[in-house]
Structure 1
């Protein structure tokens, strides 16, 4: 079993105190391909494809500043034992959704920051109705810009990224699907997902905006991966900008080995 305690501690005026507990048991040990497929099917039927949202948004009142889209915070913790990556969506736990500036801060201010997490966790912030998996219809033909970071710097990058998203700073219409912050042992990975990988003008605009809103040094590496190639591991487009002079202050937080 695996116990995870994450995320909300309290909100304005009210004590929300939510302990997210994820109890996941390993898959049954069975031999034979047919038995494995049958047991896997039973496991999927027992699992809830759409886990319950812990905190639902309230309608915006006249004093609030509505956002253009409703967003959902969620997280994923890899279960112990055998795990099929195709089952990722079954273990994504929605935490809270919001549709105004005030609701965002009322939730975000009391979420644990990525740099404060010691476990392998994926944090998501996606538009309502879009799951943080590449198989989702909104993501299937898209891709993601990826930035790898040294440990300890993901909190600031993550905050700047999601603020740029809800503030519509990318100016690409409905192209932005969501963002992911993956906490790992040796590095943290932040990615921004968009709908259309084939639209080079759009992906380039997203890339340039990312560099600006995250205040990245000119020699930072941003890697673009298409979702339809996630299983084939064929297409990887890396955008590099040569830099003759390193800005040591700006590049301290980037993962070693990602600088020219």
Structure 2
């Protein structure tokens, strides 16, 4: 609640999702069946209530994916909001990924990124040697919006010059069945 006792409504409602796979084990369970909804929220206050109780990335087992998506958009390449889009990918050392993830989550919830309506959500992929942050957008063919989103992410996260951002359309991920291999390097 704000000073007047009124909860502050956000432009978008969001949902946190979680995916955990057993390393080295292939199952018949589909990826979609492994995605678990944690909580949804529509106000800054309800965001902080849930976020304070979430495990921090540094304590999560590998491989794990933590997703934050706008309500109504599932964290799947095939979702109607995602199918024509793609994602910006940034690889981080495990020691700093939690800070960048939190900064990105706050930017999304606070609607602080330019071209925010083009953003579907974000994923933190916790892996053995590194963590991977990706920001998903709606339209991979809108070059101006894709590049503006890259610039907004770099600016907001204050990425040091050594960090490389890669872009990959979801249709390419569907073709090679991989989120992070064979990316299109864009800067």
Would you call these one fold, judging by a TM-score over 0.5? Answer: yes
Highest RCO, 1 vs 2 (Cα 8 Å, sep ≥ 6): 2
C-alpha contact 1:181 1:188 (8 A) present in aligned 2 = yes
- Alpha-carbon distance between aligned partners in 2 of 1:122 and 1:156, rounded to the nearest angstrom: 16
SS of equivalent to 2:32:
helix
User: Match for residue 82 of structure 1?
Assistant: 26
| Segment of structure 1 superposing worse, 61-70 or 228-237 | 228-237
- Alpha-carbon distance between aligned partners in 2 of 1:173 and 1:207, rounded to the nearest angstrom: 12
| 2:99 maps to 1:152 | no
SS of equivalent to 1:144:
strand
Larger relative strand fraction: 2
Equivalent position to 2:108, from 157, 161, 165 = 165
C-alpha contact 2:22 2:63 (8 A) present in aligned 1 = no
> Higher Cα Rg: structure 1 or 2?
1
Against the structure 1 CA distance between its residues 235 and 182, is the aligned structure 2 distance closer, same or farther, given a 3 Å change threshold? closer
C-alpha distance after superposition, 1:22-81 (max 9, x if no partner): xxxxxxxxxxxxxxxxxxxxxxxxxxxxxxxxxxxxxxx951111101100110011574
User: Match for residue 223 of structure 1?
Assistant: 166
- Alpha-carbon distance between aligned partners in 2 of 1:72 and 1:231, rounded to the nearest angstrom: 23
List structure 1 runs of 4+ shifted beyond 6 angstroms: none
Q: Alignment length, in residue pairs?
A: 179
- Alpha-carbon distance between aligned partners in 2 of 1:201 and 1:84, rounded to the nearest angstrom: 40
Larger relative helix fraction: 2
- Alpha-carbon distance between aligned partners in 2 of 1:95 and 1:231, rounded to the nearest angstrom: 26
1:188 positional shift: 0.5
User: Match for residue 36 of structure 2?
Assistant: 93
User: Match for residue 237 of structure 1?
Assistant: 184
Q: Which blocks of at least 5 consecutive residues in structure 1 are unaligned? A: 1-60, 241-260
C-alpha distance after superposition, 1:130-187 (max 9, x if no partner): 1101011110000000000111211101000011111112232521101000111111
Q: Which blocks of at least 5 consecutive residues in structure 2 are unaligned? A: none
- Alpha-carbon distance between aligned partners in 1 of 2:35 and 2:19, rounded to the nearest angstrom: 5
User: Match for residue 56 of structure 2?
Assistant: 113
C-alpha distance after superposition, 1:224-253 (max 9, x if no partner): 00000113349632123xxxxxxxxxxxxx
Q: TM-score, normalised by structure 1?
A: 0.65
